[in-house]
């Protein structure tokens, strides 16, 4: 048998106060697609950084083609044919596609001058290798995320690449784009290049990889051919426990006045004549391809699309939602898709983030009371099981799952009657995800909160919703009862909408 492309033997990496990797044996074979699974903090990122030469390690050996290597550096990793595509792609939006592609080569040749014709030639070669066409003269900033990713891949494959590491490459892609990416990954594999794939999405891991390697708390806990794995087994390996998979059942009164009633809502061309009802305690899923109008619908319900037409009723009372304060006042809460840019104040403390939407509950007279802020924050931390002991900690230092809990917790303080969640667990690891789901279900059952859950994650919808709405081109085209439905039913339905 041939030597593994890269092998780690008993590698340990310590950081102050913790072992990020603990005696890990790990290998990547030539031309295989290997998936790395694990929760945040499980050691995945550390492993990637060791393999790409960014981190040194404390114990163990690293072998390339069976030969032990010492003093492995990023430069040495590139020389060995290891390329990493980071989540942000590291591209330059104001340079052209051709320049972005050619830059690395020209730099490594120590060039001083740059000729557009040569850039275009190098760029065209790189794209031709992947058999894709993208306008070489377009600025990268004008491309879609999927095209940017392809440029990043093409750039990574310009040198003699033997291993391509992709860190959560599907996070920002739509379903069709993921399919295209996977086709590309298989082509790359066919050229004899190994791919190390990091993803949070089980379905994707099972679909694309040859082998799966699961990490937990800095140790490799499972490893094997993908055929041996199921979602449940990966989850168990990642979290060390079985997560409940019983579906949500709504037992409310279907004849009661709906909590939220929307009639003939239109927002420009994005949402067309949508009517829907949400009853107390219901968790209603909303899915559809990107651009289906689902986000615009949510924004309209949150007062962010003042030019909408149609009527919105809360508990039978008509609302004129033309601004966010009006929506909040009425009892509508919205957790946005992108918590980094829309939801959280990253450099501020947990406490300040938590009270941001409910400032009037933390005042004494006209002033903000530190004591009240701390009390509210501590209660939220407790309630949402946010993993910290210090409410003054910066939100930016929490994991994605905990950040998401901070946002949800914040909105719960406003005492909402309708909670709209847009991608509630995007980029959140399995354990946190289960925790967030549990909390949302609790709220629906005990407080009678009506929840609208927008998501691309089909298992998440099936598991948590008592109804699932599908949107297409601005209209609701399906109102599904998840009982008796399987994941594939919904995927098939979504595919026919394309």
Partner 1 sequence: MNHLAKLMRRSETAVFLIVLAIMIVIGLINPAFWQADNLFNLLRANVIIGIMALSVLIVMVSGGIDVSFPAFAAAAMYLTVLAMNAYGHEGVLLPFIGATLIGLLCGLANAFFIHTFRMIPLIVTLGSASVVRGLLLGLVGTSIVNIDRMPPALIAFGRSSLEIGGAKLSVMVFVYLGLAVLVWLLLTRTMTGRSIFAYGDDAESAKRVGFNTRRTVYVAYGLAGALAGFAGLLHASMIWLANPRDFVGYELDVIAAVVLGGASIFGGRGSVLGTLLGVFLLVLIKNSLIIMRIDNTWQGVVIGCVIVVATALTAWRDRKTLA
Distance spanning both ends of the chain, measured CA to CA: 45
Neighbours of 46 (CB within 10 A): 22
Measuring CA to CA, how many Å separate 466 from each of 80, 285, 355, 412, 482?
Answer: 52, 8, 31, 21, 6
Q: Which of 91, 198, 213, 454 binds partner 1 (CB under 8 A)?
A: 91
The answer to whether 427 and 87 have CB atoms below 8 angstroms apart is no
- Which positions from 36 through 65 interact with partner 1, judged by CB under 8 A? none
b/e map 472-492, b = 16+ CB within 10 Å: bebbbeeebebeebeeeebee
Residue 91 or 193: which CB sits closer to partner 1? Answer: 91
Shortest reach from residue 426's CB to partner 1, in Å? 19
CB of 94 to partner 1, least distance (A): 4
Sign of the Cα torsion 286, 288, 290, 292 reads negative
Of residues 304 and 314, the one with the C-beta less far from partner 1? 304
Fill in the per-residue mask, 363 to 402: x = in contact with partner 1 (CB under 8 A), - = not in contact: ----------------------------------------
- Written as six digits, the tokens of 360 are 């009037």
Shortest distance (Å) from residue 153 CB to partner 1: 15
Q: What CA–CA distance (Å, rounded) separates 242 from 231?
A: 11
Residue closer to partner 1 (CB basis): 98 or 283: 98
Residues in contact with partner 1, total (CB under 8 A)?
Answer: 21
Q: What angle do CA 416, 386, 354 make, to 5 degrees?
A: 45
CB nearer to partner 1: pick between 76 and 243: 76
Which C-beta is closer to partner 1: that of 63 or that of 95? 95
For the bound state, the minimum distance from the C-beta of residue 268 to partner 1, rounded and expressed in Å, comes to 13
Q: Which stretch binds partner 1 (CB under 8 A): 40-48, 93-101, 159-167, 204-212?
A: 93-101
Q: Which stretch in 65-73, 91-99, 175-183, 273-281 sits in contact with partner 1 by CB under 8 A?
A: 91-99
**Rounded (5°) CA angle 11-16-18:** 55
User: Contact at 8 Å (CB) between 354 and 409?
Assistant: yes
Among 25, 56, 59, 142, binds partner 1 (CB under 8 A): 142
As measured in angstroms, the least distance from the Cβ of 340 to partner 1 is 15
Say if CB 61 and CB 8 are below 8 A apart. yes
* From 7, 32, 39, 99, residue interacting with partner 1 (rule: CB under 8 A): 99
Query: Is residue 92 within the footprint of partner 1 (CB under 8 A)?
Result: yes
Q: Minimum Å distance from CB 99 to partner 1?
A: 6
Computed on alpha carbons and rounded to an integer, the radius of gyration of the chain in Å comes to 25
Biggest distance spanned by C-alpha atoms of the chain: 76
The reply to whether 95 sits near partner 1 by the rule CB under 8 A is yes
| C-beta of 106 vs 206, nearer to partner 1 | 106
- Give the 3-state DSSP-derived string for 253-264, with helices as H, strands as E and coil as C: CCCCCCCEEEEE
Strands (E), 184-245: 194-198, 211-216, 219-225
Q: Judged by CB, which is closer to partner 1: 92, or 345? A: 92
108 vs 171, beta carbon nearer partner 1? 108
Residue 73 binds partner 1 (CB under 8 A): no
- Residue 268 engages partner 1 in binding (rule: CB under 8 A): no
Among 59, 66, 79, 94, binds partner 1 (CB under 8 A): 94
Q: Is the separation of the CB atoms in 470 and 493 below 8 Å?
A: yes
Q: What's the CA gap between 287 and 340, in Å, rounded?
A: 22
Measured over the CA atoms of residue 19, residue 25, residue 31 and residue 35, the dihedral's sign is negative
For the CB of residue 113, give the shortest distance to partner 1 in the complex, in Å.
5
- Residue number with CB closer to partner 1 (142 or 390): 142
Tokens for 72, please give them. 């492995």
Residues 6+ apart with CB under 8 A from 7: 25, 26, 27, 28, 62, 63, 64, 66
Q: For 340, how many CA atoms within 13 A lie in the half-sphere containing its CB?
A: 7
Q: For the segment 101-130, give every residue that binds partner 1 (CB under 8 A).
A: 103-104, 106-108, 111-115
Q: Which is nearer to partner 1, 60 or 291 (CB)?
A: 291
Q: Which is nearer to partner 1, 168 or 207 (CB)?
A: 168
For position 146 contacting partner 1 by CB under 8 A, the verdict is: no
Minimum distance, C-beta of residue 103 to partner 1, in the bound complex (Å): 6
Footprint of partner 1 (CB under 8 A): 86, 88, 90-95, 99, 103-104, 106-108, 111-115, 141-142
């Amino acid at each position: 048998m041939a030597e593994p492309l890269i092998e780690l033997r008993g590698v340990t990496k310590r950081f102050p106060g913790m072992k990020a990797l603990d005696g890990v044996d790990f290998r990547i074979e030539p031309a295989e697609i290997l998936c790395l699974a694990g929760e945040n903090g499980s050691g995945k990122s550390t492993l990637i950084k060791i393999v790409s030469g960014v981190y040194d390690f404390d114990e163990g050996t690293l072998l390339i083609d069976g030969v032990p290597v010492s003093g492995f550096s990023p430069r040495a990793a590139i020389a060995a044919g290891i390329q990493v595509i980071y989540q942000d792609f590291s591209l330059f939006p104001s340079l052209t596609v051709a320049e972005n592609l050619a830059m690395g080569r020209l730099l490594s040749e120590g060039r001083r001058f740059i000729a557009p014709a040569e850039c275009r030639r190098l760029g065209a070669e790189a794209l031709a290798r992947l058999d894709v066409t993208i306008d070489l003269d377009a600025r990268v900033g004008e491309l879609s995320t999927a095209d940017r990713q392809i440029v990043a891949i093409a750039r990574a494959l310009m040198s003699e690449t033997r291993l391509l590491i992709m860190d959560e490459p599907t996070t920002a892609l739509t379903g069709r784009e993921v399919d295209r990416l996977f086709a590309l990954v298989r082509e790359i594999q066919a050229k004899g290049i190994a791919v190390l794939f990091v993803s949070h999405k089980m379905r994707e891991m099972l679909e694309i990889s040859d082998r799966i390697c699961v990490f937990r708390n800095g140790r490799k806990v499972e490893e094997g051919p993908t055929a041996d794995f199921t979602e449940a087994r990966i989850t168990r390996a990642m979290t060390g426990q079985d997560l409940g998979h019983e579906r949500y059942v709504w037992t409310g009164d279907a004849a009661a006045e709906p909590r939220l009633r929307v009639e003939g809502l239109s927002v420009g061309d994005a949402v067309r004549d949508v009517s829907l009802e949400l009853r107390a305690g219901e968790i209603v899923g909303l899915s559809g391809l990107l651009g289906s109008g689902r986000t615009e619908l949510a924004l309209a319900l949150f007062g962010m699309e003042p030019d909408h037409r149609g009527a919105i009723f809360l508990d039978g009372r008509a609302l004129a939602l033309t601004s966010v304060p009006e929506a909040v006042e009425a009892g509508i809460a919205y957790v946005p898709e992108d918590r980094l840019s829309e939801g959280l104040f990253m450099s501020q403390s947990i406490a300040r983030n938590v009270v941001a939407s409910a400032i009037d509950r933390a005042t004494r007279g006209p002033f903000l009371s530190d004591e009240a802020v701390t009390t509210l924050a501590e209660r939220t931390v407790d309630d949402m099981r946010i993993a910290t002991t210090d409410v003054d900690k910066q939100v930016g230092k929490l994991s994605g799952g905990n950040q998401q809990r901070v946002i949800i917790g914040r909105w719960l303080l406003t005492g909402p009657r309708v909670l709209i969640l847009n991608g509630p667990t995007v980029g959140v690891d399995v354990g946190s995800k289960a925790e967030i789901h549990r909390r949302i279900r609790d709220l629906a059952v005990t407080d009678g909160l009506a929840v609208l859950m927008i998501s691309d994650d089909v298992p998440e919808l099936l598991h948590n919703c008592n109804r699932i709405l599908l949107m297409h081109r601005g209209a609701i085209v399906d109102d599904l009862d998840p009982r008796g439905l399987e994941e594939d039913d919904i995927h098939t339905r979504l595919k026919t909408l394309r």
